Amino acid sequence: MSRITSIKNHQLSDIKFSVLINFQVELRLFDVAGAEVETLINKSYKPGNYNVDWNAAYYASGVYFYRIKAFDFKSAQKLNLLK
């Protein structure tokens, strides 16, 4: 359902995901210690493909994780931020 496709520059990451039926989608970002640093989305989506840009300009270099949830689907992916 989701994956990071690219880091466009040192400040912006493009996260793509697909929704098959109407669902509430939640996308949250966590630091390496597991503390939530930002909620990127938390709303209903209709079926389709979507992009979410994460502006990392105000975050330090390091390891982050994003977690996407929709109904009973859950996925977490690692994101390395290098500035």
pLDDT digits (tens, 9 = 90+) for 34-60: 999 999 999 999 999 998 888 888 888
The total of other beta-carbon atoms located within 10 Å of residue 56's CB is 22
Mean pLDDT for all residues in the chain: 83
Better pLDDT: 78 or 44: 44
CATH code for position 61: 2.60.40.2550
For residue 83, count CB atoms less than 10 angstroms from its CB and return exposed for 0-12, middle for 13-18, buried for 19 or more: exposed
Minimal CA–CA distance to 26: which of 70, 83, 62? 70
What is the extent of the structural domain holding 8?
A: 2-81
Q: Among all chains, which residue has been given the structure tokens 């939640």?
A: 26
Q: What is the CA radius of gyration of the chain?
A: 12
State the total domains in the chain.
1
